[in-house]
A and B are shown apart, each in its own frame.
Chain A
Amino acid sequence: MSAQLLGLHQPGTTLLHRLPAGAKLVALMAASLVVVVVDGPPSAVVFVAVATALLAWSGARLGLTLRAMRWLLLTAAILGAWTVWQNGWPRAVEVVGDLVALILLATTLTVTTPVDEVMDAVARGLRPLRRVGVDPEAVALAFSLMLRAIPTTITLAEESRDAAVARGLERSPRALLIPFVVRVVARARDTGDALHARGIGD
């Protein structure tokens, strides 16, 4: 199993580690907003530089972090190539720069914060919404399931690819895609069953 858990928490003592999870979450949301709202290639480059500096400051281990992010970075690269072709370089720098900056910022959060703390912060932040029928704990759990789903999905994709290769069908999109979708749906159903059985959501 080569899939790494996305941004698995790496304990440390930097200021970034010591900040409360809620503050970091709010900062991440604010920063994301700025990244999305402020246009132009130069600003995208600045965002990537700042995000890289933050991640470096967190003391994240380079190898581990790159491995965790490689699929996202690959996606960004493909998106970049496509945008260059469709809209030219400046636009590609902007789009990919923004995306990479967001990935780096989110990784900084997960590297410096245990998921449990993120969940608690989300649950606390959403508590006022209880009155309108939002269950904060459920939202927090959904958050962590989302994080968990990424490496799981990568593993399922690798299994599907290996199975197709083993049958000499690696060039057939159908032999790759259909089993992959079936696996993802089956796993989602099993996870739902398991959550239900554990009384989560009761």
Chain B
Amino acid sequence: MSGIRLEQVTVSVPTHDGDRRILEETSLELTERRIALVGPNGSGKSTLARLLNGLVPATTGRVLVDGLDVAREGREVRRRVGFMFTDPAAQLVMPTAREDVALSLRRTHPDKAERLAAADRVLADFGLGGFGDRSVHGLSGGEGQLLALAGVLATEPSVLVADEPTTLLDLGNSRRIGDLLLGLPQQLVLVTHDLELAARCDRVLLVRSGRVERDGDPADVIDHYRVTA
């Protein structure tokens, strides 16, 4: 199992009247398999999640994944850390489902015929067998999110960071994607407003006003969040 470490990390963003700190100094050791980040809008959950693959750089401190410094070994880190966004439309970049998965496989399958065959296998694994030639533009929210997940997992990351992956989905799809994520062998860092989903993780962090306010047993942290919301 991989390990994520934050060492005295802060994040500040420049504004017109000076820098604004959006993540207060945070040190964390994340080794559990399924970790949820919950908290109010604008509290810093996405900032924390995006630190893990370098989409947001730490202003001070260090972020390490399997001992690799995200700031210095970004490429290596991004190979290990897959990232899933809320809206699949932003993430799916190729015209058809097969081509989009194949794009993820460019590095591991240099030969094109093999790559497309591998992409078809990935699609089949995710129950998207008939979708190879479908335009990514015409997929439903659930299908799109499933395809986005297939594209990310095709690269075989050891950690998956997902920023509100079920927020745009209906009940059925949200449950399906949620179950799939929680059942993955990979380490999962899940940002979510779905407290039932968070409760099924091994550890929950409550983020509020740019700091980790509570951290630990899911039931305790979620109870605290509910009474203080």
Contacts and interface: CB of A to CB of B under 8 A. Distances in A.
Interface in A159-202: 187, 190-191, 193-200, 202
Given A1-B138, A3-B137, A5-B137, A197 B83 contact: yes
A198 B135 contact: no
Interface string B65-91: 000000000110011001101010111
A76 B51 CA distance: 46
A69 interface: no
A200 B92 CA distance: 13
Contacts of A155: 137
A148 B92 CA distance: 9
Interface stretch (A12-20, A92-100, A113-121): A113-121
Nearest to B115: A116
Interface string B55-67: 1000000000000
A152 B85 contact: no
Contact of A199 (B75, B85, B99, B133): B75
B129 interface: no
A129 interface: no
Interface in B93-112: 93-96, 99, 102-104, 106-107, 112
Contacts of A199: 75, 78-79, 107, 155
Given A8-B95, A120-B112, A1 B85 contact: no
A198 B155 contact: yes
Contacts of B152: 198
Contact of B75 (A187, A191, A202): A202
Interface of A: 1, 3-5, 8-9, 11, 114-116, 120, 137, 141, 144-145, 147-148, 151-152, 155, 187, 190-191, 193-200, 202
Interface of B: 53-55, 74-75, 78-79, 82-83, 85, 87, 89-91, 93-96, 99, 102-104, 106-107, 112, 116, 133, 135, 137-138, 151-152, 155
30 contacts: A1-B137, A3-B137, A4-B137, A5-B138, A114-B96, A115-B94, A116-B102, A116-B112, A116-B116, A120-B112, A141-B93, A144-B95, A145-B93, A148-B93, A151-B137, A187-B89, A193-B90, A196-B78, A197-B53, A197-B78, A197-B82, A198-B91, A198-B103, A198-B104, A198-B151, A198-B155, A199-B75, A199-B78, A199-B155, A202-B78
